């Protein structure tokens, strides 16, 4: 059975009057929505009502609160950690009343700490202290999941470079209760945004018993299949695929209501190992409804 992942949290929150790009919410994007429990619950419920079977916590952009260049971050540390708890506990309670729904704690890429769309090139990992910074970053977030929540299944999202992936893996090893899908963002020819080929990285991830899967997210739909064909060779129990609406559209043009998903494309992903499919940046609820029909048809053998 193919499982249905959730879609873009920023797009979903728009339905309830929340604008990630407002002056009040930049540079923390979706994360401040957790200050309004009803708001974030409504977004979660809308995904669950759509029929998703795998859903992530609204914690992806927590990394922006760790940016020491922003003076208010240190003074609001306890408040931000409370928002983190709300994001996790609210979703866990809602998912309990839905049969077969799995909750995944979203661990955003280190790029969220720099909040400058650097996940699309990964150049921050070329800095002299990048490995130390990445270790400390992931240590902070996994400690929060460990001590402040009951969430033990994680998805590391939108990682653009092999070195950052290995630093995340190293940190995960310090939290033996956690299990994780590690998801990366790709350009063409199965290369990560930073330029590395993915084969060696996939091999290292497969050696770790805590890694239950690998993912492809915030990637142009046209670039998914080449990465999937490489990942397929490693027989991960889980392979998550949740593309953006298209790099050129998302990065240059803003929103687009045209179709992203079609039966041939999605069935090709499934044939090449995808176990769960959803949407990332720019994917609207209307597009998720189309994906839901495609997934249902595949599960029903149509």
Question: Which pLDDT does position 12 carry in this prediction?
Answer: 96
Under DSSP, the state recorded for 100 is: T
| 176 vs 40: CA distance, rounded Å | 29
What is the CB-side half-sphere exposure of residue 228 using CA atoms within 13 A? 27
Task: Confirm if 205 and 217 have CB atoms less than 8 A apart.
Answer: no
Task: Confirm if 239 and 214 have CB atoms less than 8 A apart.
Answer: yes
pLDDT string in tens for the chain (302-residue length): 999 999 999 999 999 999 998 988 999 999 999 999 999 999 999 999 999 999 999 999 999 999 999 999 999 999 999 999 999 999 999 999 999 999 999 999 999 999 999 999 999 999 999 999 999 999 999 999 999 999 999 999 999 999 999 999 999 999 999 999 999 999 999 999 999 999 999 999 999 999 999 999 999 999 999 999 999 999 999 999 999 998 866 555 555 556 899 999 999 999 999 999 999 999 999 999 999 999 999 999 86
Give residue limits of the domains in the chain. Answer: 3-301
Question: Is 280 annotated for ligand binding?
Answer: yes
Query: CATH classification of 3-301 is 3.40.190.10, yes or no?
Result: no
What is the CB-side half-sphere exposure of residue 138 using CA atoms within 13 A? 27
Task: Confirm if 39 and 13 have CB atoms less than 8 A apart.
Answer: yes
Question: Which pLDDT does position 247 carry in this prediction?
Answer: 82
> Helix (H, G, I), strand (E, B), or coil: what is residue 143?
helix
Cβ-proximal residues to 18 (8 Å cutoff; 6+ apart), any chain: 25, 30, 33, 39
Strands, DSSP E only, in 49-145? 54-56, 102-108
Predicted TM-score (pTM) of the model is 0.96
Strands 179-184 and 238-242 come out as: unpaired
Question: Is 218 annotated for ligand binding?
Answer: yes
Of 155, 205, 143, 153, which Cα lies nearest the Cα of 178?
A: 153
Question: Which pLDDT does position 212 carry in this prediction?
Answer: 98
Question: Is 281 annotated for ligand binding?
Answer: yes
Cβ-proximal residues to 116 (8 Å cutoff; 6+ apart), any chain: none
Omega before 27 cis (within 30°)?
A: yes
């Amino acid at each position: 059975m193919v499982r249905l992942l959730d879609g873009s949290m920023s797009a979903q929150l728009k339905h309830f009057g929340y604008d990630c790009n407002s002056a009040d919410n930049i540079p923390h994007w979706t994360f401040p929505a957790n200050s309004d429990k009803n708001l974030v619950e409504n977004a979660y419920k809308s995904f669950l009502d759509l029929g998703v079977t795998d859903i992530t916590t609204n914690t992806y952009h927590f990394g922006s609160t760790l940016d020491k260049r922003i003076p208010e971050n240190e003074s609001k540390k306890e408040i931000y950690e409370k928002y983190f708890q709300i994001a996790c506990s609210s979703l866990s309670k809602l998912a309990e009343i839905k049969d077969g729904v799995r909750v995944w704690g979203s661990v955003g890429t280190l790029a969220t700490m720099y909040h400058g769309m650097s996940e699309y090139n990964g150049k921050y990992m070329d800095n002299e202290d990048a490995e130390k910074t990445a270790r400390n970053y992931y240590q902070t977030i996994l400690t929060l999941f460990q001590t402040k929540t009951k969430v033990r299944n994680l998805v590391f999202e939108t990682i653009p470079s092999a070195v950052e992936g290995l630093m995340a893996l190293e940190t995960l090893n310090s939290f033996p209760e956690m299990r994780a899908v590690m998801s990366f963002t790709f350009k063409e020819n199965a290369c990560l945004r930073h330029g590395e080929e993915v084969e060696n990285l996939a091999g290292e991830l497969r050696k770790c018993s805590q890694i239950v899967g690998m993912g492809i997210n915030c990637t142009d739909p046209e670039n998914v299949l080449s990465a999937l064909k490489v990942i397929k060779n490693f027989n991960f129990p889980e392979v998550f695929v949740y593309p953006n609406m298209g790099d050129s559209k998302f990065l240059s043009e803003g929103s687009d209501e045209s179709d992203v998903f079609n039966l041939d494309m999605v069935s090709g992903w499934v044939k090449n190992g995808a176990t769960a499919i959803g949407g990332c940046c720019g994917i609207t609820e209307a597009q998720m409804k189309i994906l839901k029909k495609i997934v249902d048809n595949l599960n029903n053998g149509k």
